[in-house]
Structure 1
C-alpha cells in the first residue's frame, strides 16, 4: 500500500495541473509611461470588452469570433509618429506605426483575449496555439494593414524607435537613389521578413535564421526557386512542421514587391557585416 501513495500523489498533481487554466497569462505594455501588466482575468473583466467577428481571420483562415478590447484603449499616451514593437512568445517581432493604429480611415485594431474556459482552436498547419493574446483587425485593407501586423502569442507591446535608427547595418547605403528598387525592397523586407529573421546579425526576431550571414539566400538558390519558396515554403522542402508561412497572393506580396525584395537581398549579399 505504501508504494501506491507516491503514485496517488502524482496522479492528484497531474489532475490539478490539467484542471488549471492553460492560457491564463499576462501581457506587458509600455508606451513610454511605465510598464502596465494586464492579466487575462483583468482584460476579460474590462467594461469595453466586446465580441468581435473577423471574417476570414489571417491566422485561423476562417471566420472567428473573439472576446476583445480596443487596442487603442490599452495604449496610454500613444501619439502620431510613435512606433510600437509587438513581441510574441515564439520569437516573432513586428513594428507597427502608431499612425496605423490611430488611423481615421475605419480600420480598427483589437486585442483578442483567449478565455481559458473557452480556448481557441489550434492554428491550421501545425502552427500551434494563437493564445493568449492576439491583435486582430476589422476593415484592415482601408489602412493598408499587412498580414504580418496580426501578431499572435503576444507577450509584450513596447514603444520603440524607427528600425533604421536601431539597425543601421540592414539599411542600403545613402548613395542608393530614393526611387531604386533596392529601397522599395528594403521597406518590403521590414514588413515581411524582418518579423522573423535577422540580417547582418541585427534584429529583434528569433524565429528564423539570419538572411545574410554567412550566406544570403540569393547566393545559394536560383532566382526561380527562391521566388517559389517565398510564395510557398513547401515548394522547396515538404515539411509540414515548418513555421514559415508563404506569401501566395498578390494581396500578401505583389510581384513588384517580390522583385524589389530580391533586389534588396542581392544588394545586401554584397554588403555583409559580421555580427
Structure 2
C-alpha cells in the first residue's frame, strides 16, 4: 500500500518538477525536465512505430550517450520506472551512434504527450526510445517509459545467482543461451526464484514455472501474442514477434525456463 501511495504522489507531481536520477558510479546526478530540454545536444526526433504508443511519435530528446559520462561499452545499466519496471541494459547499444540509436525523450510541460491508454498517464516524464531499433534487434523491454532512475550495476549473473542454470553446462549450451534471452526480454518485469529487481509481473518459477502448467504450444502462443490466449484489456505483457525473439531464441528461452523448473529456490514450499 505504501508503494502504491508513493507512486500516486510521484505521478501527480507537475511535469516541471520531474527529475531523472543517474547513479553511474561516483557522485549521483539529477537532471530536471528543464535542464534536459535545454541540453546542448537536445533535438527533435521522429520515432516510427513507437513501442508504447503504437504509432509515429515526435519527441524532444537527448542522445543517451551524452548522459552516460564515464560509462564503458562493457558496463551494465539498469533503467527503473516509477511503477517498478526494471530494464536490464547492456551499455554498448546505449553508447552506439547508429544505426540503432538510443535517446532519452523528455516530456515538455507545455506540450504534454498523450495518455498511453484511457485512464492512464503518458509515457513521460522521461522515456528511452530508439531510432532504427530493428538494426540492433532492440527488444520492447528496452523501451522503458516513466523513467525515474538509471544506474550502473554489476551484471545480472553476479547480482542474482538464483537465476543461474547448472554451472556444469557449457557456455554455449542452449539453456545458457536461453538465460541471455530471459535477461533481455523477461527480467524487466519478472523475477525468478525470487531473484531480480522488477516489481511488475509475477515470479516465473515460484511456486510454479509456466512450463509446468502451460501446454508447450499454448505457452509459445502466449509469448507471441498474450491477448490471443487471454483477452484482458488491462493486460500489460507485450507480445514478442519473431523480429524480437526468433523461433530459435524462443526454443532457448523455453529450454531455460524448463531447466529452472528443476532448480527452484531451496526452502520454498509448494502448496
TM value normalised by structure 2: 0.88
Describe the SS at the equivalent of 2:264.
coil
Q: Is the 8 A contact 1:176 1:183 kept in 2?
A: yes
Q: Is the 8 A contact 2:76 2:153 kept in 1?
A: yes
Q: Is the 8 A contact 2:19 2:33 kept in 1?
A: yes
Cα deviation, residue 128, structure 1: 4.3
Cα deviation, residue 146, structure 1: 2.2
Q: Distance in 2 between matches of 1:68 and 1:225?
A: 40
Cα deviation, residue 45, structure 1: 2.0
Q: Does residue 36 of structure 2 align to residue 30 of structure 1?
A: no
Describe the SS at the equivalent of 1:27.
strand
Cα deviation, residue 141, structure 1: 2.8
Q: Deviations over 1:100-158 (max 9, x none)?
A: 12235433211100112211112258764211100111222333322221111101000
Q: What pairs up with 1:77-226 in 2 under 5 angstroms?
A: 77-103=70-96, 105-124=98-117, 128-226=121-219
Q: Is the 8 A contact 2:93 2:101 kept in 1?
A: no
Cα deviation, residue 251, structure 1: 0.4
Q: Deviations over 1:213-239 (max 9, x none)?
A: 111111111111111111111233211
Q: Deviations over 1:199-223 (max 9, x none)?
A: 0000011100100011111111111
Q: How many matched pairs? A: 255
Runs (5+) with no aligned partner, structure 1: 1-19
Q: Distance in 1 between matches of 2:198 and 2:231?
A: 24
Structure with greater Cα Rg: 1
Q: Does residue 230 of structure 2 align to residue 237 of structure 1?
A: yes
Against the structure 1 CA distance between its residues 23 and 181, is the aligned structure 2 distance closer, same or farther, given a 3 Å change threshold? farther
Describe the SS at the equivalent of 2:265.
coil
Cα RMSD of the aligned pairs, angstroms, is 1.8
Residue in 1 aligned with 2:41? 48
Runs (5+) with no aligned partner, structure 2: 1-12
Q: Distance in 2 between matches of 1:74 and 1:242?
A: 33
Cα deviation, residue 86, structure 1: 0.5
Cα deviation, residue 32, structure 1: 0.7
Q: Is the 8 A contact 1:21 1:117 kept in 2?
A: no
Q: Which runs of 4+ in 1 moved over 6 A?
A: none
Q: Is the 8 A contact 1:197 1:211 kept in 2?
A: yes
Q: Deviations over 1:8-32 (max 9, x none)?
A: xxxxxxxxxxxx8356411100111
